[in-house]
Amino acid sequence: MKEREITALETALGYCFQRRGVIEQALTHSSQAREQEAQQTGESKSAVNDNEQLEFLGDAILALVTSEELFHRFPQFREGELSKLRAHVVSERHLIRVAQRLELGHYLRLGRGEEKSGGRSKTALLVDALEAILAAIYLDGGMEPARDFIVREILSPELERMEREGGALPMTDFKSALQEALQGLGLPQPSYVLVQEAGPEHSKTFTVEVRLNPNGDGRVEFVGRAQGSTKKTAEQEAARQLLAYLASRPQSAGTRPARSSRSPDR
């Protein structure tokens, strides 16, 4: 790959590779690898790596990170609900949209036959390349940048889309669930505070805090903080954080020093 192509891809991915070989392998289809091997002569013949093994690893990383994120984001969901949601997020139907948005087809390294047959737009090839890229990020930088990429590019945008469009999330009205939970515990309702509004009019980001004041005396026990493309989305995510806190809160807990969940990307 040319240097400018790698730079453009890194910009799209939001990650800069230290080892260029690993990202080139992630984009190399088996047709290109076998073609390169066939062109070798003499004793210098050697195997050319393609992206199939990386795709295998990336698939496992995607499943792990998605499972962990959904586990923490939706503590009230049952196993079946979590499995259904995970199956959608990691499905080919969803991943192809991510691959197309990142324009991965432009960067694929294909053999002549696959090129002629329209390989750059084939769903299977694009999804495999996306999963191989996940593995490449993991191998180059570790789990954290891989997790960041999955949450930023694959998971969070889809969950927000499903919520906006009334999609099939098992339960998205965390504010109502929080209201019921607090009533059941005999606690007052929380306050929602818009603490920041940033970005241009057509693409604003809203930061909201939800504050639990169990005794009504001004002392805050817990603060959930979240960002979203709408105030409603941010409020729902902050409410989810408070629900998760309540689930871990001892039933006999009284007023305690304020705890805060400062995780706008979660």
Active site residues: 59, 131
Alpha-carbon distances, residue 83 vs 80, 86, 100, 177, 251 (angstroms): 5, 5, 25, 21, 29
**CB contact at 8 A, 50 and 28:** yes
**CB contact at 8 A, 43 and 57:** no
**Measured distance between the N- and C-terminal CA atoms of the chain, rounded to whole angstroms:** 35
Q: How far apart are CA 246 and CA 20, in angstroms?
A: 46
Measured in whole angstroms, how far is the alpha carbon of residue 257 from the centre of its chain?
A: 32
